[in-house]
Every structure is written in structure tokens, then in C-alpha cells.
Amino acid sequence: MASKAPLDIPGAEAKLRAYLQAHAPDLGALKEATKFFVGQSNPTYKLAMDAGDFVLRTQPLGDLLKSAHAVDREHRVMQALGQSDVPVPPMVLACEDLEVLGVKWFVMGLVQGSTLTDPQLPDHDAAMRRHIYEAQLDVLARLATTDPGQLGLSDYGRPSGYLERQLHVWTRQYRASETQHMPAMEELISKLPGMLPLEQHKAVVVHGDFRLDNLLVDGQGDVQAVIDWELSTLGPPLVDLSYWCTMLRMDQSWPIAGLGGVNLSALGIPNEQELVAQFAHKTGLEIPDDWHVWVAFHCFRFAAILQGIAKRVSEGNASADNAANVATQAKPMAELGAEILAKGAH
């Protein structure tokens, strides 16, 4: 069961209403706030205002892992990317005053579009499936070729050493949230430091969780917005592509389902080799021979993220009602990474 979110606290909605009236009077009065029961990390609400519908995104309540739930960074990066050709929701305002809701939060425009949670896209035909995946790839190529310095984001992260830092950060986060012994995770933590790929390209903004269900897609299959930027930073342009391919390799039966074991050709969905080749063509970037290490690294990283969800479940501090089910995926995710690393599979 999901824990209390910021607007569940008595008096919180009245404080929000007063703050919005003072700092965003053009929105008019707040008529209703309704929580979206999707996503595992930051509580998100639909705000019905006189001026239309908006979205409130907050940190969760409770003790937070250091550097996690960075909604202030989400706001900053989306505000900057609003100047680029990467589609993001329009930002309205941000608040870091903990006296208002007890946590940091921001408000953005509500973008019309669907969140597609099943990567097999069962409600679409083969042609539309291919169009959606190619639209996703096109957005990723745009992000990977956008200069952070032109958007005022040159200080959004360090210009090099991304993989090494991420390995350190997520090992630390995993240890802080460890609730069970996972031999495959220990294997990844032991082997990855000596196998990390060289970072051959200039750092760009990386989303950090770039997958289909973090996009808002319209009825024509086009991407209207990329959402959920809390893990974003600066890093190599192959980061999001390799993460996306990791998501595709996950088994179709897992709580967060991938396309492992699926006949992609029959569905009209591009396979990993096609996506990687198209990305290289669109961006002019070379794909390294140690591609499998990139993918295994993301298995480790995602397993650590899932273990963080498991820890929040154990403490009654998880945002989504299906968090307990999702948390069970940490162990098989680590096992997939160890298998990829052992096989050296491209």
C-alpha cells in the first residue's frame, strides 16, 4: 500500500492553494488536486485550476536517500530543454521552501498524450508500433546531439567520469537499501569496475530513465513530451540508448515488462540491432565493441533502483500501490546483468 504523500497531510492543500495564488496568480484558483497512481518515486498530482489543468510533482515524505528524488533538478533540466527541440512539458514554478508542503516541489503544464506501459503495444498495429519506436529513437537522437552549454546546463553534471561515478553512487545506494543478499549483484559490483567502457564522446544531457513509459505519445504515435527527469545529469551520449536496450532485454513476464522472448518482427517493433544502427546513423556516433558492458552496467543500476523501491516498501514509504510487486524484479534484473557480462553478448 502506498504511504502518505504530501497532500495527504492535513492543511497541505490549503498551503498549496495560498502559495499558488501568491506566486502564480495567472493560474487562478485551485479547484481540485488528484494524485496519479503511477510511478514509483515522486508523488505526482493533476491540479484542476481556473486556467486549466496542470501537474504538481513533489518529493515523497519520509527519510530520503542522499541525491534521490531530485525534483529541483527535474525542474531545472526541463526548463532548459524547453529551449531545444527535445519535447518536454512547460514549467510553471518551483518551490524549495519546506514550510509549504514539507518537501520540494514544482508545477508544470499538463501535456496531452498517453503513457504506454506495455512495450508490446497491444492496442496498435505493426505499422504504428514501428512508428512509435522510431519516434522515440528520433527524440533520443535529438537529446544526444543537444549541446548542454547552449542551454545553460554546462554545470548540470561533471563533464567526464560518468560511468565510474554512477557505479559508485548506485553501489552506495544499493548498500543503503539492501534487504536481501543477491549473489548476482555482488558479482556485478565486483566485476564492473574493471570493465567500464571508455567515455569517447563529449558529455550531453542524459535522461537516466529513458524508456517508453516515460514518454507522452499522441494518437498519431508522435512523442509530445519526455517526462520523469529526476535521474538526469551530464554523461556520454550512449547512456540512454544502452539503458533503453536494457529495458528491451528484460523478460516480458516481469512486473516492469521488457521484450525478452518476444517475436519483434511479427509485431513490427525494431530489434536492438536496428535501433542501435539507426541511432548511430542519426547522431554520427560510433557504437563500441564493448556494447554489452554498457547494457550490463544498466542492469546493475536498475537493480539498485528497484532495490531502493524494495526498501521504501519495507518502510511503508513507497509512492505507488504496485511498488511491492515491482520491487521483486531487483534480483532477476541483477541476474540478467551478470548473464550479459558473462556471455559478452552484443
Backbone angles phi, psi at 136, to 5 degrees: -60, -45
State residue 63's pLDDT score.
64
Q: What is the DSSP string of 153-183?
A: -TTSS-SS-HHHHHHHHHHHHHHHH--S--H
Euclidean distance between CA atoms 150 and 161, whole angstroms: 21
Instruction: Copy the grid coordinates of residue 41.
Output: 518515486
pLDDT in tens, the chain (346 residues): 344 567 877 789 999 999 999 999 999 999 999 998 766 578 899 999 999 999 999 988 776 655 567 899 999 999 999 999 999 999 999 999 999 998 999 999 999 999 999 999 999 999 999 999 999 999 999 999 999 999 999 999 999 999 999 999 999 999 999 998 999 999 999 999 999 998 888 999 999 999 999 999 999 999 999 999 988 999 999 999 999 999 889 999 998 899 999 999 999 999 999 999 999 999 999 999 999 999 999 999 999 999 998 888 888 876 666 788 888 999 999 999 999 999 884 4
Name all domains of the chain by residue range, CATH numbers in brackets.
6-109 (3.30.200.20), 126-343 (3.90.1200.10)
Q: What is the DSSP string of 38-99?
A: --SSS-EEEEEETTEEEEEEEPPSS---TT-S-HHHHHHHHHHHTTSSS--PPEEEEE--HH
Euclidean distance between CA atoms 246 and 267, whole angstroms: 19
Hey, how many other C-beta atoms are within 10 angstroms of the C-beta on 190? 9
Euclidean distance between CA atoms 303 and 335, whole angstroms: 9
Which residue reads 551478470 in cell numbers?
338
175-187 exposure pattern, b = at least 16 Cβ within 10 A, e = fewer: eebeeeebebbeb
Q: Where are the beta strands (DSSP E) in the chain?
A: 30-36, 44-49, 52-58, 91-95, 105-109, 204-206, 215-217, 223-226, 233-235
Identify the three-state secondary structure at position 313.
helix
Euclidean distance between CA atoms 33 and 47, whole angstroms: 5
**54 within 8 A of 110, measured Cβ to Cβ:** yes
What is the distance of C-alpha 167 from the center of its chain? 17
Euclidean distance between CA atoms 252 and 120, whole angstroms: 9
